[in-house]
């Protein structure tokens, strides 16, 4: 069975060892360490630091298969504004001059790959940012050249990073997500084309960001089978009837009853995890199933415990025989 891990991004208010203790109590096999809070600090990650992290994990019977640096990755090719100051480390934000922020973010992502290697993991999950997300639905009309220039900018900024990842034997797994260069199947294909299908670039599959958009998240697994480097288990609910705030959210906050969609604890939304497990078995994915827990209406410790049990129940190994092979006399 695949290991079930907990993504620590939504738990960064808790000290690392406290979360290790809780994750073990919740039933998890390991953690996907976020590069914020004190869970995994890239700027401190030398051999001794990584050894200490592994020893703490081992103390609680936990393992680590991936680290995640979504916040810094977002700044690599984004349009930088005051929002980024609230999520970036001070040494990345600096004076806030946009190009300087982007350059420092790129350097930090390379440093993240080096840190991952020292920790003994070969996948870094994260975001890329996007210079053209703001052009998604716009008037006056967007020209094709504007979109192509955006993908070219993404490629120019990320290829050097990915080259360094490849040298280190580490892969970058983009969480396909609104606000990123790839947010559905069509844009994912364009992103891969822009970087010439770089071998170090793949995906942290997360169905929750695709389902409410109306994107076929099971087809995503089959379409990009050789690029699924990591999997997030995360659920989402969307309405069957018209709502006051549509897919774009109407500038409402999560939890607002007027919304068309909202994240839910696993098993309480509309994602078909049975179909996902069958698709993952089909592509022979044997990596971790990492719970990214979000549900604004539920106690998070209750939810994380429930989610762990749900994933362990829904997962199952792939058969290595044809179900009717016993009919063949040679097998009897």
The 10s digit of each residue's pLDDT in 74-114 is: 999 999 999 999 999 999 999 999 999 999 999 999 999 99
Alpha carbon distances (Å) from 173 to 170, 179, 216, 309: 10, 16, 19, 26
- Identify whether the C-beta of residue 127 lies closer than 8 Å to the C-beta of residue 70: yes
Q: Which pLDDT score, from 0 to 100, does residue 275 have? A: 98
- How many angstroms separate the Cα of 184 from the Cα of each of 140, 189, 326? 23, 9, 42
Residue 324 has what pLDDT?
Answer: 61
**Average per-residue pLDDT for the chain:** 96
List of domains in the chain: 4-331 (3.20.20.150)
Confidence of residue 332 (pLDDT cuts 50, 70, 90): low
Give the C-alpha separation, 193 to 182, whole Å: 11
Model confidence at 17, pLDDT cuts 50, 70, 90, reads very high
How far is the C-alpha of 150 from the C-alpha of 152, rounded, in Å? Answer: 5
Q: Which pLDDT score, from 0 to 100, does residue 138 have? A: 85
DSSP string, 167-212: HHT-EEEE---TTSS--SHHHHHHHHHHTTT-TTEEEEE-THHHHT
Q: How many C-beta atoms lie closer than 10 Å to residue 133's C-beta?
A: 16
Q: Which two tokens stand for residue 116?
A: 């991952």
pLDDT band at 325 (very low <50, low <70, confident <90, very high): low
pLDDT in the model for residue 274? 98
Average pLDDT (185-206) is 98
pLDDT in tens, 129-141: 999 999 999 899 9
| pLDDT reported for residue 23 | 98
When pLDDT is averaged across residues 143-167 and rounded to a whole number, the result is 98
Q: How many CB atoms lie within 10 A of CB 239?
A: 14
């Amino acid at each position: 069975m695949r290991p079930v891990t907990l993504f620590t991004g939504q738990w960064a208010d808790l000290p690392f060892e406290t979360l290790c203790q809780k994750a073990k109590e919740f039933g998890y096999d390991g953690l996907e360490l976020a590069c914020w809070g004190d869970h995994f600090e890239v700027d401190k990650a030398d051999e001794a630091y990584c050894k200490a992290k592994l020893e703490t994990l081992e103390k609680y019977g936990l393992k680590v298969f991936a680290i995640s640096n979504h916040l810094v990755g977002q700044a690599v090719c984004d349009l930088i504004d005051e929002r980024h100051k609230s999520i970036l480390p001070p040494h990345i934000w600096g004076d806030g001059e946009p190009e300087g922020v982007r350059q420092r973010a790129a350097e930090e992502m390379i440093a993240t790959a080096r840190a991952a290697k020292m920790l003994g993991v070969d996948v870094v999950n994260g975001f890329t940012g996007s210079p053209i997300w703001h052009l998604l639905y716009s008037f006056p009309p967007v020209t094709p050249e504007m979109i192509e220039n955006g993908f070219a900018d993404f490629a120019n900024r990320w290829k050097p990073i990915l080259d360094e990842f490849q040298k280190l034997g580490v892969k970058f797994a983009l969480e396909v997500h609104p606000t990123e260069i790839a947010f559905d199947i069509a844009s994912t294909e364009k992103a891969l084309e822009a970087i010439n299908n770089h071998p170090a670039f793949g995906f942290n599959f997360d169905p929750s960001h695709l389902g409410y958009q109306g994107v076929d998240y099971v087809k995503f697994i089959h379409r990009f089978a050789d690029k699924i480097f990591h999997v997030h288990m995360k659920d989402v609910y969307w309405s069957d009837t018209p709502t006051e705030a549509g897919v774009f959210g109407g500038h409402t906050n999560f939890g607002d009853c007027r919304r068309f969609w909202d994240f839910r604890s696993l098993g309480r939304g509309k994602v078909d995890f049975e179909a996902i497990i069958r698709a993952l078995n089909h592509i022979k994915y044997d990596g971790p199933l990492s719970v990214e827990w979000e549900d604004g209406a539920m106690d998070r410790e209750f939810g994380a415990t429930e989610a762990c049990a749900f994933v362990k129940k829904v997962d199952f190994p792939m058969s290595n025989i044809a179900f009717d092979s016993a009919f063949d006399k040679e097998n009897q």
